Chains A and B, each alone.
Chain A
């Protein structure tokens, strides 16, 4: 029922069959270094799209551009049909509230405990009674298997707990798109697998659309419906498809090298 409600809500706000996110002819990066040029892709509703690429390829920058923290050099980014690249301050803020974002470090507010962090968006944007906000926040934490940690401060949390709490906070305002920056980075294999399971469960039970930035191969293969791969040299998206297909059938050597964890050729090998 919840899933249906969310889907209805998304359809109402986005006008039906529109993709959740649509990137068109995007040029982004820094004045001295363009990372992506003329890139276009869509993220379908309920899809888990993984943005992948090596370190420094611009994955996190692309995510921050999609959520409106970085201004694109050119191109359009439609979130639920609204162009965040050209939006004014208020329209952009409204669009951003439809996106839930989990940053690499969790980005929990250090002066608030876990429950207060998750409640924060509700405190800011709703007129709910404190008890209702607390109940909502506790349910979110329960969903993320973090109920036991509600009174802990961020400094007392492990890496995995920080990320779970970050996801719970990102979900608090009832958004339908979640963007996760390196959710598995720095986590032990079991914690990372648990987080992957949580992502899949959130999509299945609540119908979220996910954009996940990562270069953890096991996570990519476990959660992604589709992945796009960035290449900073050609400044383009060099692969777009199901991760397993890209791994097994890509004709691009860079994509195969990435999925098969092959090192660059050493000098000795290159010379011989």
Chain B
């Protein structure tokens, strides 16, 4: 058991005495340290004698405590003196210079809103430049698409596409069910239930099939692309690829771009079909039979609606893959950077998907 006390008492020559005894360790130092510093503070103009003769043991915290006592800026006739400290500890403490431990007094200059705006703008401009450079490299890679390793494209397509089928089916089906049910309840009030079929058909084919598939893929595949390539960068695999004279864009990015452009439209078709099927199931509860639903749907949607959704989904796929790969390639050092890249790939992809969807809506309406 450790016993540590500190006491002060006036001495004959007007000096204050502080006696340290027992063991001063990380677990016991706090009250001793506070007491000793309080003593120094209460006696700013008196000499302080620290009696260390009864110290049994000090760890690194104890050494810091002793150093803290002697490093303080006090008048010449009010210095702190440690007496009878073990020679090895005294040598250790002498090795430190008080000036090396002065806290930086220069406060960080506050940044004004104008400078903040400028910095943020410069950052975004640099990011846009970087993206433009990356897209330029992708376009160059597309020109050499004939030489891509189609085995890699197939592997990525299997992982990003085939393995995503269940989740895309579930999401598409639920979207169709939800839209049909919510709109159907309102439409029944106006006796216009049959037109819910039009709504479900157009919404699934033009918007929701592609949008929901893209959002699922952004979370699933975009993050995976960023994490895979980011990890390869951290492990110097990208350097190894470069030193084989291979272009990482052609070797790693192009297969992913092509795979995503192929599988997102295919998944969108599935989402469209199950979404409309879900809508048909719900409409049956509103007394709209399957045949009636089918006839109404044929009159409500056109091939253009379907094609618009498919083209849009291909652009979404390209966007998700490009953002994921770019984030992977720009990953910094360490495991944390890989996580940040994956997160930022998902967020950026979803934002871009919504923006692109908005642009499609504006230019195709």
Residues of A within 8 A of B (CB): 64, 67-69, 89, 92-97, 99, 101, 103-105, 107-110, 120-121, 124-125, 169, 173, 266-268
Contacts and interface: CB of A to CB of B under 8 A. Distances in A.
A222 B85 CA distance: 48
B94 A107 contact: no
A97 B245 CA distance: 6
Nearest to A93: B245
B231 A103 contact: no
Interface stretch (B234-242, B262-270, B289-297): B234-242
In the complex, the 5 A-B pairs of residues with the closest C-beta atoms, listed nearest first:
A93-B245, A107-B236, A107-B240, A103-B236, A97-B245
A107 B244 contact: no
Contacts of A109: 232, 237, 240
Contact of A96 (B91, B95, B231, B244): B244
A60 B245 CA distance: 19
Nearest to B238: A107
Contacts of B135: none
Contact of A267 (B97, B236, B240, B244): B97
**Which residue, B235, B237, B242, B243, has most C-beta atoms of chain A within 10 A?**
B243
A173 B244 CA distance: 9
Contacts of A104: 236
30 contacts: A64-B239, A67-B243, A68-B242, A69-B239, A89-B247, A93-B245, A93-B246, A93-B247, A94-B245, A95-B245, A96-B242, A96-B243, A96-B244, A97-B245, A101-B239, A103-B240, A104-B236, A105-B236, A107-B236, A108-B237, A109-B237, A109-B240, A110-B232, A110-B237, A120-B244, A121-B244, A124-B244, A125-B244, A268-B91, A268-B94
Interface string B17-34: 000000000000000000
Contacts of A68: 242-243
Contacts of A124: 244, 246
A205 B91 CA distance: 56
A69 B243 CA distance: 7
Interface string B321-362: 000000000000000000000000000000000000000000
Contacts, number: 57
Contacts of A105: 235-236
Contacts of A67: 243
Contacts of A93: 245-247
B95 A267 contact: yes
Nearest to A89: B247
Interface in B220-277: 231-232, 235-237, 239-240, 242-247
B71 to A, nearest CB: 14
Contacts of B91: 268
B242 A69 contact: yes
A89 B246 CA distance: 10
A25 B315 CA distance: 48
Nearest to B97: A267
A108 B238 CA distance: 10
Contacts of A107: 235-237, 239-240
Contacts of A267: 95-97
A101 B243 contact: yes
A72 to B, nearest CB: 16
A101 B240 contact: yes
B97 to A, nearest CB: 7
Nearest to A98: B245
Contacts of B231: 110
A169 B243 CA distance: 12
Contacts of B243: 67-69, 96, 99, 101
Nearest to B231: A110
A49 to B, nearest CB: 18
Interface in B133-151: none
Q: B96, B231, B246: which has the most chain A beta carbons within 10 Å?
A: B246
A267 B95 CA distance: 6
A121 B245 CA distance: 10
Contacts of B244: 96-97, 120-121, 124-125, 173
